[in-house]
Each structure stands twice: as C-alpha cells, then as structure tokens.
Amino acid sequence: MSPRWSYSFADGASLPDADRVAEMGGKGAALARMTALGLPVPPGFTLTTGACHRVLADGWSDDLDAVLAEGVAALEATLDRRLGDGDRPLLVSVRSGAPISMPGMMDTVLNAGMTDAVAEALGHGCGDARFGWDTARRFVQSYAAVVLHAPSELLSGLSRRHLGADEGASLDDEGLRAAGVALRSDLETAGYEIPDDPAAQIRAAVEAVFASWNSDRAQVYRDVEGIDASLGTAATVQAMTFGNLGDRSGTGVVFSRDPSTGAPGMIGDFLVGTQGEDVVAGTHQTEPISAMAQRWPSLSTELEEMVDALETDLTDLADIEFTVEEGTLWLLQVRRGKRSPRAALRIAIDMVEDTNFPLDAETALERIAPQLADPPMVPVATDDVAGEELTSGLAGSPGLVAGAICTDVDEAIAAGGRGEAVILVRRETSPADVAGMAAARGIVTAFGGLVSHAAVVARGWGVPAVVGASDLDVRTDGVSVNGRFLANGTVITVNGDDGAILLGAHVPAMEEVPELAVVRGWAESTAPAPSAPTEQIDEREVERVLGLKGMGDAATVANILDVESDAVAALLAALVESGDAQELPQGRVRLLPDAVARVTAMYAADAARLSAQIEPVMDRFHVVNDAFKQVVTDWQMRTVDGAQTPNDHTDVAHDAGITARLRTEIHAGIEPIIAEVSAADPRLGRYTARLVAALEAVEAGEADMFAHPLKDSYHTVWFELHEELIRLSGRNRADEAAAGRA
C-alpha cells in the first residue's frame, strides 16, 4: 500500500490516537480531535510526517503537488472561496506540528494565498480597506522571513522605513496600502521575491515548514528535551480566521490552569485586532485573559466551557490557541501545556483527587517522574527574599536565581559553557535565542506575557523567568532601568514567583515543595512488594541496565543480570520492534524517550522507598569516590622526566602500584558500602561480583579492564553504581556536579 501523504481533520479523527499523532503531528492530531468533539475548528488538512521525510530526503515531487492541490480544492469547496479570487478569496495558514510539542521552534506562514487583488477583495468584502492591507503586510513579512530567509536586520529595517515603529497602525488606509506595496518591492529589489501565484506560495510555505525541522534552534531544543530527531514534523494547511478584523476580533492563548503554580482557573493573554503571532512572539504587551470577560462576557463564558471540555479530554493541563473573528470564536490548537515542576505536581494531585478525571496515582507517578527525580525547591518560609527591587514584571516561570546580566545570546552560550551563572535579558525572545536560553540560569524580557515564547520555554525547562518588565530598556552593553544603567555582568536576582528583579544576589535557603510529601506517599503505597527470586528475566531490569549504560548489547546486559544471553536478545529485539529502543551497530541498542521515561519513573518510585536508607551512606561513598578519581588519574597519567604524560602501561612497577591501591584502598572501601546498600535493595549486591571480576582481570594484566567505556571495566561498573546511588537518594547527576561530587 502506498503511504498516505495527507489527512483532512475529519479523516484524521478516525485514526487511533498514537497513529494520529505520529502521522499528523501534535497540531494536526489535536485539530482532528477537536473536530471530532464538535468544537469550532476552521477546516483544513495535514501533510504527514512521512511527507516531511520524503521531502527532506528526496525533495518535492509531482505527487505531493497533487496531494496539496486536492486538499486546497476541498477547502475551496467547503468554504465557497477560491485561491486568488477577486470576490471571495481563500487564505490559509501553514503551520508546523511535530509529534512532540516544540513550542516556537519551527516555522509558520500566515495568510498564504495573498496578492494585491486579494488584499483589495478582503477589504471590499468587509467594508474595511485597512483590514485587507494589514493582512497583506503581515503575509509579506511572514513569507519573507520564513520562506525566503530574508535577514532579520533587512526585514526589520525595511518594515520600520515603510510602516513605522507601530507596524502601520498610525497610517491611513491609503498610506498602509502604499507602505505594503513599497515593502514588497524593496524586498524584491534586494533579491527576496514573493511569487504572485497563491498555489506556489502555499507549496513553498509547506517546504519551509518541513525544512525548519532541521533548523539550528529546533536541533538545540531537541537536544535539551531529549526528542528523537527521526520523528519529523507535519505541516497543517488551514483556512485563515482573522483576529485583525476590527474591534470585535482578536486572538489569544489560554491555559486551563496556572502553568506556574498549577492553581485551577483559566490564565492566559489576548489581544484585540491582531493575529496569533503577535501574542506568542512576545513583541506586544497583551491583556490578561480575565479582561476578555469584561470586553466579551458571552464569548468568555463560551471559551471557559471549551477549555473545561478539552482539559477533561486531555486529563492534563490544556494549552489552547483561539481566534475571535467578528464575534465568532474559533479554536486553532490544543496541546498539553508546558508547566513548571511545581505546577506538574499540583496538577497531578488535583486530578488524581478529582473523580472527573480518569487519572490514578500510578499513572500520575509516571507523569511526574522527572519532578520526583529532581524535586522543585522553594524558599524556606521564614526567609524573606530581601534586596533592592530594580523593577518587576510578570512571574513567567517560578523559581529564584541570581546571575550576571547578559543581553547577547552568544555571550550567554559562552558563559554557560564556562559554568558561569548568567541571566539572559532580552527585549523579547525568539526561537533563534533558544541556545542562549538553554545556557542561562534565568530569563528576563521587557515585552511579552504569560504565553510568550520566553515564558513557555522557561516553564518547560524549569528556568526562573520574569517577562513583560516594561521598565527595562535592553541594549547591547546592558540594560537601563528607569534611567539607571546596569552593564552586562551586573549581578541581579530573578524572582519568578512574584515577578521581582532585585539588584545583587539574594537567594535564601531553599526546601522541597510540600506537594512532594503527597506524591511520595503514592509511591510508597503503589510500590510492589519484594518478590521471591525467579529465573524469569524482568524486562524492567533490562531497561534499567540500558538506561544506566546508555547503550548495550545482549551479552553485556546478560552478564550484568547473570541471565541467559539469548533471552536478553529476544527482549532487546522486542524493544526495538515496539519503538522503545533504537538499534545501533555491533548489536547494541539504546532506549528511546518513552522507555527512558519509564526508567526514570522506576527510579523515582524506588527513591521514595529507599532514599532514607541510601542517603546516610552517601558521605562515606563520596570519600571513597574522591580517592577512586585520583587512582584513575594516576592509572591514566604518569610522570616521566618530571612531566605528566599519558600512561602507555610500559612501566610495570607503576601499574602494579596503582593496581595494589585499587584493591587495598578502593575495593576494600567500597565493599562494605555495597553490603550496606544491598540490605536496602538486594539488587545492588551484584555490583560486588562485577567489581571483583574487573579487579581480577586488571590483576591478570588486562589493562582495559581498569577503565574502558565499552567494557565492564572497574571504572564503568563504578560509574553505574554511583549513578544508581544518586538516583536512589532522590538526586540527579546535575546536583552532584554542582556540589563537586560528580
């Protein structure tokens, strides 16, 4: 059977959930689901992730042209509109949508199908010429940036020259028309020509969306989030709805609960007379969603009912994009919202305790495994966060952090690489800033609301952020706050809990959030009772070994678990077949994100039971661990003629001395520690046998068995033991590194 390259929203609704997301991406799948629920969704269709792979590998093809034309023709018939028509023109958006949400990382083109004649027709159709030409200039800017890759400096410079700093808001109708025509003409003179053919515009927009899967910012985001690069993105083509059609229109983004705290109730931003990019880009000061109830009370009530329905359907925090067109509400997107670590805990607790949601404690524990492994912290209640307040904004992402002001993305990346704490301060962030955001300890923006790019990404990554601090004037060499200049490098404190920005470092003592006590209680009550020894291989233990090692083959895993290699090989093959693991050269496999999440959840549940027994051992372990680091260094380096050189193992006496220290100092020190932790979890006892085997191999002359990453060497086994103790004590390797114990 030939692969299917597209689905209408109605057809996509009939697919099984997992297939729908894999084929149509998160955005297309959500639109199909909302269509099936009978919610107001503008019609459209989705070109699949398979089409993306096809285009990225082989380029565009005639059969994809046919698929695209068929989808557009169906839209034309449904809406009684036509591409390029002088009376009833059809305009579409072309949006990316990966199977795993990557907010703001890939490209979108709005108002595709635009020509001067279409702009005239839009204005004539609604009796507002300004609307037509405002929509046209938005298309020109979007297409030039996304499809033609016009440099941002050129595009912003030309936009300011012709439209002014307010994007044409102060121009009259004729002035706006002339400015848009001049902008397009100057872009063409500079080599960035926009085709007049509406169908060619849509095809080029789809190609640009597919290509954005491999953009630098998307790759950085995937690296941070651990998203599989082989997934690809879908491209959704959807009839435009116009939030810029006068003062009875607008656009917004709403969360079903507070994504910073998890508290119930809608929270979000909206703008009157604009299109959606203005809200999420962070370039405009938005209104809170609560103001919508005052302006359009009946629409606000309608939206609240839809939000409740979608949250119940997701059984999770819902992040919803909507447009109001002349008093009619349209839904454009729903996805599981990015939330802060503390909000994740609060939402899980509330939904487990609320019988309206089909969420049990065991499933919730899997969902919040990352928060159990790396618990969120809050200031100790008796400690006030005191200091000179420079200014304040919106609490975009909770947490408290101090660092040096840095207004340049490249500088933030360099400083983060040196281990320095920096606060990235920007007028607003864009997807191009994502690498700097990943390197920063905190984020501040002068513009944007709670659903801006900066706030959404920061919450998803657990980075404290303050957004919309409008008193800030961000410059290349620092910031100005109410006439006071602070150079890059000045230390400030960002309070993402209340939106304050303080001069200097003011981070008090911290403690774990109280919600952890509730979910740890779940972990204890749902933990399985210890089972009697059995010869049967536990698939979870196979996954645990692969999660610890990063990758492994059947023989390696079987040796660690002391089981038959053939049985392990069958389990590894099953993991690959189910899509939970990836096959690598030389018979090795590595876990993919879903399986990694299961391993993380397993350790979180184990830590809830065992941390009180493991934690007291850690100080003694670190003493031996520090000694072992020195022994490894001495094994790898030796002094020749007064200089340190790599050890080539030709000095038999040197190696014998290090091997003796390994047995008498290190091995003698670790054995009683393993015995003690094995009393808490007998599974840990196997580390003794593995270390003994490696030690005996070293003493027999196998130098590689001292420290070799692809063998069960002494150093490899030690590293895995350290990793397990870290996880079972409720911490993570980043905590250990920050404390100098990694």
Residue with tokens 């604009």: 274
Query: What residue spans define the domains of the chain?
Result: 6-239, 250-336, 384-449+464-507, 539-591, 598-738
Q: Work out the percent of the chain whose per-residue pLDDT is above 90.
A: 41
Determine the pLDDT at residue 67. 94
Cα–Cα nearest to 283, from 163, 445, 522, 417: 445
* Token couple for 292: 């919508």
CA distances from 227 to 100, 102, 223, 542 (A): 7, 9, 7, 22
- 120-178 per-position pLDDT tens digit: 999 888 888 888 999 999 999 999 999 999 998 899 899 999 999 888 888 998 999 99
**Element housing 128 (H / E):** none
**Element housing 652 (H / E):** helix 652-661
How many helices and strands (H and E) does the chain possess?
Answer: 29, 27
- 70-109 per-position pLDDT tens digit: 999 999 999 999 999 988 999 999 999 988 888 767 788 9
DSSP code of residue 644: E
CA 373, 375, 380 angle in degrees (round to 5)?
A: 160
Please tell me the pTM assigned to this model.
Answer: 0.64
pLDDT > 60? residue 1: no
Do 559 and 711 contact (CB within 8 A), yes or no?
Answer: no
Cα–Cα nearest to 327, from 307, 299, 300: 299
- 540-571 per-position pLDDT tens digit: 888 888 888 777 888 888 888 888 888 888 88
**Element housing 348 (H / E):** helix 341-353
pLDDT > 60? residue 533: no
Task: Name 526's bridge partners.
Answer: none
Task: Name 108's bridge partners.
Answer: 95
The CATH number corresponding to 539-591 among 1.10.3470.10, 1.10.290.10, 1.10.10.10, 3.90.850.10 equals: 1.10.10.10
How far apart CA 341 and CA 703 sit, in angstroms, is 45
- Mean pLDDT for all residues in the chain: 87
Cα–Cα nearest to 192, from 202, 205, 180, 183: 183
- The strand order across the sheet containing 250-257 reads 287-288, 264-272, 250-257, 318-325, 328-336
Residue with tokens 């902008």: 183
Residue with tokens 């005191």: 386
Cα–Cα nearest to 590, from 562, 560, 558, 548: 548
Q: Give the pLDDT mean for 3-17.
A: 89
How far apart CA 344 and CA 359 sit, in angstroms, is 14
CA neighbours closer than 13 Å in the CB half-sphere of residue 144: 27
With 0-12 / 13-18 / 19 or more C-beta atoms within 10 angstroms meaning exposed / middle / buried, residue 708 is middle
How far apart CA 551 and CA 582 sit, in angstroms, is 9
Q: How many residues does the chain have?
A: 742
> What is the rounded end-to-end Cα distance, in angstroms, of the chain?
52
DSSP string, 129-171: HHHHHHHHHHHHHHHHHHTS---HHHHHHHHHHHHTTTTTTTS
Q: Give the pLDDT mean for 666-683.
A: 87
DSSP code of residue 105: T
Sign of dihedral through CA atoms 216, 218, 221, 225?
Answer: negative
Determine the pLDDT at residue 536. 63
**In the CATH scheme, what is the homologous superfamily, with its name and number, of domain 384-449+464-507?**
Phosphohistidine domain (3.50.30.10)
* Token couple for 406: 């840095």
Which residue type sits at 238? Q
DSSP string, 355-417: TTS---HHHHHHHTHHHHHS--EEE-TT----S-EEEE-EEEE--EEEEEEE--HHHHHHHHH
Task: Name 473's bridge partners.
Answer: 480
DSSP code of residue 328: E
Answer with the residue of higher pLDDT: 468 or 279. Answer: 468
Do 495 and 385 contact (CB within 8 A), yes or no?
Answer: yes
pLDDT > 80? residue 386: no
The torsion angles phi and psi of 364, rounded to 5 degrees, stand at -60, -40
Cα–Cα nearest to 666, from 715, 735, 604: 715
Cα–Cα nearest to 730, from 436, 374, 458, 402: 374
pLDDT confidence bin for 534, thresholds 50/70/90: very low
With 0-12 / 13-18 / 19 or more C-beta atoms within 10 angstroms meaning exposed / middle / buried, residue 191 is exposed
pLDDT confidence bin for 535, thresholds 50/70/90: very low
Cα–Cα nearest to 42, from 52, 53, 34: 34
Determine the pLDDT at residue 392. 93
Domain 250-336, CATH 2.60.40.10 — does that match? no
Q: Give the pLDDT mean for 208-226.
A: 85
Determine the pLDDT at residue 464. 92
Q: Give the pLDDT mean for 655-667.
A: 88
**Element housing 693 (H / E):** helix 686-699
Task: Name 93's bridge partners.
Answer: 238
- The strand order across the sheet containing 422-426 reads 389-392, 500-503, 491-495, 400-406, 422-426, 442-445, 465-467, 394-397
Q: What number does CATH give the domain 6-239?
A: 3.30.1490.20
- 675-718 per-position pLDDT tens digit: 888 888 888 888 888 899 989 988 888 888 888 766 788 888 88
Determine the pLDDT at residue 531. 44
